[in-house]
Amino acid sequence: MLSLRLSPLPVRRRAATRAALGSTLVASLWLAGCAVQQPQPPNTAAAVYAPPVSAQAPMPTPPTATPQAGAPDPQVLGLWKIEQARAAPVIHKLNARLNFGTDGRFTGSGGCNSLASNYTLAGNQLRLGPVVATRKHCGEVLMEQEDRVITALERAVGAQVPPHGLLELSDTNGTVLLRATRMPAP
């Protein structure tokens, strides 16, 4: 007769697993108890070193008045027709325009899409916020023209109207990026 004997191995594995889990749980609780911050009594004997008054550096005094930025050049404000953007003439001039409002808002068009932004103008120093645009598609030539206009606006840091009467937006090197002629108010 053949006798089958069941091995107690699975029972031993279960017991070993329970023992391992139990010791892991005990260790976790012990570590958690170590991590709890106990309130400490206030340290009344703490001393802070301070150098003698003669060795201390004098306290800087705040400026009494901040220098005011120059007033915006009033000649830049108003409605302009774009003639040239990034050294190339504008092909579709009818809709290519800029309007620098007195309220710090810039609006315009590159020839296809409407453009808008906030701006600050201190003297001839121009700071244009991010330019937002509508998303119409108007053909390859107009889209290329509009790309030149938007790129010129994004790079512009200067705005002036020299004696010849054209608005000129320039980059940090003084290179003229965009030229425009004044349009009569609507």
Structural domains of the chain, ranges and CATH numbers in brackets:
78-182 (2.40.128.270)
**CB count in 10 Å sphere of residue 154:** 13
Burial class (CB in 10 A: 0-12, 13-18, 19+), 157: middle
The pLDDT profile of the chain, 186 residues, written as one tens digit per residue, is 554 454 444 444 444 545 554 555 444 444 445 444 555 555 544 444 444 544 444 443 333 333 334 566 789 999 999 999 998 999 877 789 999 999 999 999 999 999 999 999 998 999 999 999 999 989 999 999 999 999 999 999 999 999 999 999 999 999 999 999 999 876
Q: Is the pTM of this model over 0.75?
A: no
C-beta of residue 92 within 8 angstroms of C-beta of residue 142: yes
Strands (E), the chain: 78-85, 88-89, 96-100, 105-110, 114-122, 125-128, 132-133, 158-160, 167-170, 176-182
Helix extents (H) in the chain: 9-35, 140-155
